[in-house]
Amino acid sequence: MAQDLERRLELVEARLRELEDEREIRELLARYGYFADAPLDEEYFALFTEDCVMDVSVGRGDDPFEVVRWEGLDQMRRFLGERTAQHDNGFYGHSFHVQGNNLTVKVAGDDAAANGYSFIFHQDGPTLRLLSASMNEWAFRRVDGRWRIQMRKRRMAGAPDVPEILRAAE
């Protein structure tokens, strides 16, 4: 009887840890958007691991499915400094990065994967317009007890690898 109770307690603790991990990951994705919009660049960079990867389709031009990639925090600083994906003057303070829609999360120890949709809106005077709608694959790693983004792969609708992205957290 005591062993059965002990085992049940272990299972409950494991389920609780998984729920807490998922909640922390959802909050991390919310902060990603808030920090990108604020702009709070240093807080934004603190959300990532040192070996992070940003792998995104450009979403415009002759080939909207063309992929650009940055690896590591130094490259991430370049990504933000270049103001790619229309991160140009007038963007900060007028944008809404919305992550975590239709989000699925799978936690495996100190690693996790998620997939879902994201949107970027831009407020231009009284007009709110949709700049981007995409499918995302996220990889997370627990570092010093906190979840961090290790990789984001973003693809515009219609990109050839969307099916793989939407299955990432299976």
Extents of the domains making up the chain = 2-166
Q: pTM for the full model?
A: 0.88
CA-nearest of 56, 99, 34, 46 to 77 is 46
At residue 82, the pLDDT reads: 65
At residue 51, the pLDDT reads: 97
At residue 62, the pLDDT reads: 83
Mean pLDDT in runs of 10 for the chain (170 residues)? 87 92 96 89 94 89 86 87 54 82 92 94 90 93 97 92 78
Q: Does domain 2-166 have CATH number 3.10.450.50?
A: yes
Burial class (CB in 10 A: 0-12, 13-18, 19+), 162: middle
